[in-house]
Amino acid sequence: MSLKNQVVLVTGAGNGIGEAIALAMAGEGATVAAADLDLNAAQRTAQKASAHGGPVLAIQADCGDVASIDAMVARVVAEFGRLDVIVNNAGVTRDAYIMDLTEADWDRIHRVNAKGVFFCLQRAAKEMIGQGGGRIINMASIAGRGFAGTSNAIYAASKGAVIALTKTAAQQLAQHNINVNSICPGVTMTDLVGNLIADRARSQGKTVEEVRAAFEKTIPLGRANEPADIAAMAVFLASPGARNITGQSYNVDGGLVTS
Ligand SMILES: NC(=O)c1ccc[n+]([C@@H]2O[C@H](COP(=O)([O-])OP(=O)(O)OC[C@H]3O[C@@H](n4cnc5c(N)ncnc54)[C@H](O)[C@@H]3O)[C@@H](O)[C@H]2O)c1
């Protein structure tokens, strides 16, 4: 098990990609802290992760709020004594045409996706500097690389911010033996995408199945991701084999975007 005794904190761990990452990390022997805005969802994930035998913790946290982020990381360290890996996964969006987006959309989306990722990264790095190193994995998106099928332009900008932040953070934290990388998922079958497909089906007068099939037709490998496809990349980036990888953003998208 490549993550034996590593303490891993996953944000947005109550559902979808975050849940899959928490479970995959636990499967590799990690001690997992599952944080989510929704405490019940975090507890559900922690409960499932405990089946792998390691210690688990569920935390209610709002990753758009700096005080809440501070308390979340402090809780992990109080419980487990250290923090080896943080996966900054929590994110929000909605499906909208550029001309329909509002200031409230900008504030809601950037509060979690950009500001939240920055302050989670900074707070986790504070612990990692003190303990001699760590791994930071940020959840970006192919939206941040110009994917035309993105949910909206503000979301794309928030994910572009994550990709840029990953590079600068990697450069500045390398001296502390901290690796910073990001993952750019393509279309991944979670509630977030389920809601987006349902919205598009409504607005286009099509069935959910038709919209999903249209999505998958555009993917060169012909299939959307399952959350486990993203979790596999997260486990690799947290593992000893990735010790010399930093500042990178990896697409996991079946070939949708090739840059
Ligand atoms: N699903 C996709 O196709 C896809 C593609 C590219 C990138 N992503 C990114 O992957 C990440 C996870 O997406 P998902 O599809 O699993 O989403 P999801 O909506 O299924 O799950 C997101 C989880 O984050 C939690 N959350 C939301 N706001 C929070 C906050 N302020 N603080 C703490 N937790 C919060 C939610 O409660 C939920 O449990 C997001 O950053 C998303 O942008 C997803």
130 and 158 share one domain? yes
Over 80: is that where the pLDDT of 101 sits? Answer: yes
The residues that are catalytic are 155
Q: What is the arithmetic mean of pLDDT over 215-221?
A: 92
Over 90: is that where the pLDDT of 147 sits? Answer: yes
In this predicted structure, what is the pLDDT of residue 207? 95
Q: Would 256 be classed as within a structural domain?
A: no
pTM tops 0.95 = yes
Q: Which of 9, 15, 95 to mutate to test the pocket of ligand 1 (most atoms within 8 A of CB)?
A: 15
239 and 138 share one domain? yes
In this predicted structure, what is the pLDDT of residue 196? 87
In this predicted structure, what is the pLDDT of residue 99? 98
The whole-chain average pLDDT of the chain stands at 97
195 and 152 share one domain? no
Q: Is 61 in the pocket of ligand 1 (CB under 6 A)?
A: yes
244 and 201 share one domain? no
In this predicted structure, what is the pLDDT of residue 86? 99
Over 80: is that where the pLDDT of 1 sits? Answer: no
56 and 120 share one domain? yes
In this predicted structure, what is the pLDDT of residue 259? 80
Per residue in 164-204, pLDDT (tens digit) is: 999 999 999 999 999 999 999 999 999 988 998 999 899 99
15 and 47 share one domain? yes
The alpha carbon of 15 and the centre of ligand 1 are apart by a number of angstroms equal to: 7
Q: Which of 10, 11, 17, 117 to mutate to test the pocket of ligand 1 (most atoms within 8 A of CB)?
A: 17
Per residue in 105-128, pLDDT (tens digit) is: 999 999 999 999 999 999 999 999
In this predicted structure, what is the pLDDT of residue 192? 87
33 and 57 share one domain? yes
Its domain, for residue 176, covers 7-188+226-251
101 and 217 share one domain? no
In this predicted structure, what is the pLDDT of residue 170? 99
Closest-CA residue, ligand 1 atom 7, reads: 141
The alpha carbon of 112 and the centre of ligand 1 are apart by a number of angstroms equal to: 10
Closest-CA residue, ligand 1 atom 43, reads: 91
The alpha carbon of 212 and the centre of ligand 1 are apart by a number of angstroms equal to: 19
% of the chain at pLDDT higher than 70: 100
Number of domains the chain contains = 2
Q: What is the 3-state secondary structure (H, E, C) of the chain?
A: CCCCCCEEEEECCCCHHHHHHHHHHHHCCCEEEEEECCHHHHHHHHHHHHHHCCCEEEEECCCCCHHHHHHHHHHHHHHHCCCCEEEECCCCCCCCCHHHCCHHHHHHHHHHHHHHHHHHHHHHHHHHHHHCCEEEEEECCHHHHCCCCCCCHHHHHHHHHHHHHHHHHHHHHHHHCEEEEEEEECCECCHHHHHHHHHHHHHHCCCHHHHHHHHHHCCCCCCCECHHHHHHHHHHHHCHHHCCCCCCEEEECCCCCCC
114 and 195 share one domain? no
170 and 110 share one domain? yes
In this predicted structure, what is the pLDDT of residue 55? 96
Per residue in 38-87, pLDDT (tens digit) is: 999 999 999 999 999 999 999 999 999 999 999 999 999 999 999 999 99
Q: Is 191 in the pocket of ligand 1 (CB under 6 A)?
A: yes
The alpha carbon of 240 and the centre of ligand 1 are apart by a number of angstroms equal to: 26
Over 80: is that where the pLDDT of 5 sits? Answer: yes
Q: Is 89 in the pocket of ligand 1 (CB under 6 A)?
A: yes
In this predicted structure, what is the pLDDT of residue 57? 98
